[in-house]
């Protein structure tokens, strides 16, 4: 409905024609659609999050089996908020509760990858199926990545002496009235939206320009089947882009519609969210460069493997 309405507005009310009309229609249609979806999905996710906080996750994972730990930590990563600025207390707090280092990494991979902005953007731009694939394969990377890091015996790579607590931590869900939860979710949503709406606008704007002006075969040659290294290049390019997921994803969508393979797009988006340079710099204060290297290496190769696998199947 919104598609026809915005089309009517551009072509008949304003009276634009040709490529310019095409690009402006795409721009208005996409921006408004994504803004709307961002608001509703971030609200829904942050509403659900008012039940669980990181302290609860830690208490819940304490003393659990390795398998339960990896799977549980990865799943909790979806529904808890994550800010790379609290990576240090989180990491040390988990170790303090004697949660294995591999399980801690499962959480550290899953939480930023499944952040609400990425999920909302994916859903808005690529639809339900791709979003589910992204979450599913993201879980796989965080479960296996954490498992491998745990197997490598990296405990000595933690640069800080953590005194473990032996007592059983108590796990309480956050108690709030529905009204308080809704208010908190809305405050959070508004806060996030204020920070990213401009990036979305710019991202969709550049996307609209590509959509209207750059020929399809050019994009297909560099990002499609014509380039066997596309996945690897995409992952490396994704590392410094964490804070701009909202602006980058509209571009990826346009590139995909013009011949970039979906596996390459998925790998790129996973690299944007899971491999973040600021997070690595923060973690460097408490774990060795070697462990950070291993962390990036394992997650990076997992993401690259998924990209190639996807491109081969689809």
Partner 1 sequence: MKIEVLGTGCAKCAALENVVKEAVAKSGKFAQIEKVDDMMTIMEYQVVSTPGLVIDGKVVSTGKVLSVDDVVALIND
* 244 binds partner 1 per the rule CB under 8 A: no
Lookup: tokens for 245: 């997921």
The least distance separating partner 1 from the CB of residue 160, rounded to whole angstroms, comes to 7
Helices 230-238 and 289-313, interaxial angle, to 10°?
A: 140
Among 39, 81, 135, 262, binds partner 1 (CB under 8 A): 81
Beta bridge partners of 287: 158
Task: Find out whether 83 and 222 touch, Cβ atoms under 8 Å.
Answer: no
Contact between 90 and partner 1 by CB under 8 A: the answer reads yes
Per-residue binding letters, 39-78, with partner 1 (x by CB under 8 A) = --------------xxx-xx--------------------
- The H or E element containing residue 227 is none
Binding-site string for partner 1 from residue 167 to residue 206, where x marks contact by CB under 8 A and - marks none: --x--------------x--xx------------------
Cα 116 from chain centre: 7
**Minimal distance, residue 193 CB to partner 1, in Å:** 16
Query: For residues 141 and 273, is the Cβ–Cβ distance under 8 A?
Result: no
Rounded to a whole number, what is the largest CA-CA distance in the chain?
72
DSSP string, 50-72: TT--HHHHHHHHTT--HHHHHHH
CB of 285 to partner 1, least distance (A): 9
Q: What is the DSSP letter of 239?
A: G
- Asked if 85 is part of the footprint of partner 1 (rule: CB under 8 A), the reply reads yes
Shortest spacing between CB 192 and partner 1, in angstroms: 12
Q: Is residue 83 within the footprint of partner 1 (CB under 8 A)?
A: yes
Write out the residues near partner 1 by the rule CB under 8 A: 53-55, 57-58, 81, 83, 85-86, 88-90, 92-94, 96, 160, 162, 165, 169, 184, 187-188
């Amino acid at each position: 409905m919104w598609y026809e309405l915005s089309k009517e507005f551009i072509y008949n009310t304003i009276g634009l024609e040709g490529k310019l009309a095409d690009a402006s229609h795409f721009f208005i249609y996409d921006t408004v659609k994504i803004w709307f979806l961002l608001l509703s999905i971030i609200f829904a996710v942050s509403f659900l999050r008012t039940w669980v906080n990181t302290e609860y996750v830690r208490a819940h994972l304490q003393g659990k089996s390795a398998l339960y730990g990896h799977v549980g930590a990865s799943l909790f990563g979806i529904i808890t908020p994550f800010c790379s600025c609290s990576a240090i207390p989180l990491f040390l707090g988990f170790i303090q509760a004697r949660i294995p280092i591999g399980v801690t990494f499962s959480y550290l991979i899953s939480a930023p990858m499944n952040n609400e902005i990425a999920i909302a953007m994916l859903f808005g731009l690529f639809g339900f199926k791709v979003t589910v694939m992204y979450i599913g394969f993201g879980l796989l990377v965080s479960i296996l990545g954490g498992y491998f890091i745990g197997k490598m015996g990296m405990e000595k790579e933690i640069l800080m002496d953590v005194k473990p607590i032996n007592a059983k931590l108590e796990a309480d869900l956050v108690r709030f009235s529905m009204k308080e939860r809704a208010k908190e979710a809305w405050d959070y949503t508004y806060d996030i939206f204020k920070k990213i709406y401009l990036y979305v606008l710019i991202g969709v704007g550049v996307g609209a320009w590509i959509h209207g002006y750059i020929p399809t075969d050019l994009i297909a040659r560099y990002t499609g089947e014509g380039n066997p290294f596309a996945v690897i290049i995409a992952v490396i390019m994704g590392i410094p882009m964490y804070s701009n997921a909202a602006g980058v994803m509209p571009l990826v969508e346009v590139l995909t519609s013009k011949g970039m393979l979906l596996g390459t797009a998925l790998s790129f988006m996973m690299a944007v969210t899971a491999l973040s340079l600021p997070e690595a710099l923060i973690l460097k204060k408490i774990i060795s460069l070697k462990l950070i290297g291993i962390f990036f290496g394992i997650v990076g190769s997992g993401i690259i493997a998924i990209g190639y696998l996807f491109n081969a199947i689809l």
